[in-house]
């Protein structure tokens, strides 16, 4: 089961990579649309990860963890709303949310603490998604495109 989780984490990364690098080779209108799709996809993934908290069965679930999960889901919703008119701000919020959720999971999930391969994959993927978001922000502010 752990191997499947790790594999799916890497498959999820592929769309982030695609959506952050293709804008550099297409016209600006399509590029901005792809970056908006990246923000929305990231928000969906954030909400998906947040939903996992409700299913933790390792004794690490409590009321405050559930409230944090709801908070991260709502941050994902805010990312979607912001992506309409403030794309760069939505990407910054997405970065903060993913890094925050990683920290939350690292400090509260027994599964995270007990499964080194999963934990290392989550850290790596979160950092790579952060790089994808930064790459997209760089595109938005690139004066040469």
- Whether the per-residue pLDDT at 2 is higher than 90: the answer is no
* pLDDT tens per residue, range 60-102: 778 888 999 999 999 999 999 999 999 999 999 999 999 999 9
Are 124 and 97 contacting, i.e. CB atoms less than 8 angstroms apart?
A: no
SS3 content of the chain, % helix, strand, coil (to 5): 90, 0, 10
């Amino acid at each position: 089961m752990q191997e499947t989780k790790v594999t799916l984490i890497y498959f999820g990364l592929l769309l982030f990579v695609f959506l952050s690098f293709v804008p550099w080779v297409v016209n600006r209108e399509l590029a901005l649309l792809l970056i908006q799709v990246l923000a929305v996809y990231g928000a969906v993934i954030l909400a998906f990860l947040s939903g996992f908290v409700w299913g933790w069965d390792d004794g690490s679930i409590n009321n405050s963890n559930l409230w944090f999960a709801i908070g991260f889901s709502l941050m994902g919703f805010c990312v979607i709303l912001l992506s309409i008119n403030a794309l760069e701000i939505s990407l910054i919020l997405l970065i903060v949310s993913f890094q925050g959720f990683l920290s939350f999971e690292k400090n509260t999930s027994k599964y995270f603490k007990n499964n080194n391969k999963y934990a290392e994959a989550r850290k790596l993927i979160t950092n790579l998604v952060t790089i994808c978001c930064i790459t997209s922000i760089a595109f938005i502010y690139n004066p040469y495109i």
